[in-house]
Structure 1
Amino acid sequence: MAESLVTIATFNEPTEAHILKGRLEAEGILCFLGDEHIIGAYPLYAMAVGGIKLKVTENDVDEAKTILRRIWQGNTLFDYDTLDEMAPPEPEPAAAEAVLCPRCGSDQTKEKPYFLQAFFGPKYECRSCLHRWKP
């Protein structure tokens, strides 16, 4: 026998509804949004249709309400200390090779940004002798 859906929350903003729907789905709760498309297309109809309805199955009502209550109270019991353990290690950035000045041989150079750099390539300036060049 098919389970019936129960509305546990209503929203005027589609973004908030999708965020909380995603959180419930991450907790393993099957949920649906009702009237999301009409409010997305006609936001002023939100009050007329009763908002976007977050619906869950009858068996998951209590658990879903508990999760939403914790979120709205600001107590999600999310362990921020494990974020570093879950993320893949970041690769070490490659060391940039120093560009040497063709006039004095100094490595104290900097790239000079300019408007058409994407088309014509970089320009450099030596901080020692103030020579400017294009490679």
Structure 2
Amino acid sequence: MTKAVVVAKFSFPLDAQIAKSNLESVGIPAFVADEHTINMQWLYSNAMGGVRLFVAEEDVEQAKNILQADFSDSVDTTCASNPEHCPKCGSDDIAAYTQGKKSAFLVFILAGFPLFFYQHGLKCNQCAHFWQT
């Protein structure tokens, strides 16, 4: 029988679940402890020592290396390699945009209740064309 060892501690259960998923994606079984207690009473997180992530004793070094790895460059490269193009002019100079946000805010200020008639999508910075994704 192998001994379970705490490999990391987190303040929030979501962070522990992400770390657990990272470990399980490379074949390291992991277990999250105290997540439900902290979900119910998040102020106990520091008093309890946070949400603990356990792995088998023989997987500790490999797990620590995986949890310390920074994959942000890979994500930026993957996301930037597939740009969309404007359907109207074909430009790749596009940005995320919320259409109708100003008028929805104005209605909320004047009427006192929100009207959600805005739309999320993309807007071309060259021809100002908006489309939903």
Q: TM-score, normalised by structure 2?
A: 0.53
Q: Matched residue pairs, number?
A: 81
Q: Which residue of 1 aligns with 2:42?
A: 43
2:26 corresponds to which letter in structure 1? E
Q: Which structure is larger by alpha-carbon Rg, 1 or 2?
A: 1
Give the share of equivalent positions with the same residue, in percent.
Answer: 38
Deviation digits for residues 41-74 of structure 1, max 9, x if unmatched?
A: 1100001110000110011101000001113x85
SS in 1 for 2:28: coil
Kindly provide the CA deviation profile for residues 59-100 of structure 1, in whole angstroms up to 9, marking residues without a partner as x.
1101000001113x85779x849x99xxxxxxxxxxxxxxxx
Amino acid at match of 1:44: L
Long gaps (5+) in structure 1: 85-135
Spell out the pairing of 1:1-135 with structure 2 (5 A cutoff): 2-71=1-70, 74=72, 80=78
CA distance in 2 between counterparts of 1:58 and 1:76 reads: 29
The ranges of structure 1 where at least 4 consecutive aligned residues each deviate by more than 3 angstroms after the TM superposition are: 73-77
Separation in 2, partners of 1:23, 1:76: 15
CA distance in 2, matches of 1:74, 1:13: 21
The verdict on how the C-alpha distance between 1:76 and 1:56 changes in structure 2, with shifts beyond 3 A counting, is farther
Conserved? CA contact 1:70–1:76, under 8 Å: no
Secondary structure of 2:39 counterpart: helix
The residue identity in structure 1 corresponding to 2:10 is F
Q: CA RMSD in A?
A: 2.7
Structure (1 or 2) with the greater helix fraction: 2
Contact 1:5 1:56 in 2 (8 A): yes
Letter in structure 1 aligned against 2:67: L
The gaps in structure 2 that reach 5 residues or longer are: 83-133
Q: Which amino acid aligns with 1:70?
A: A
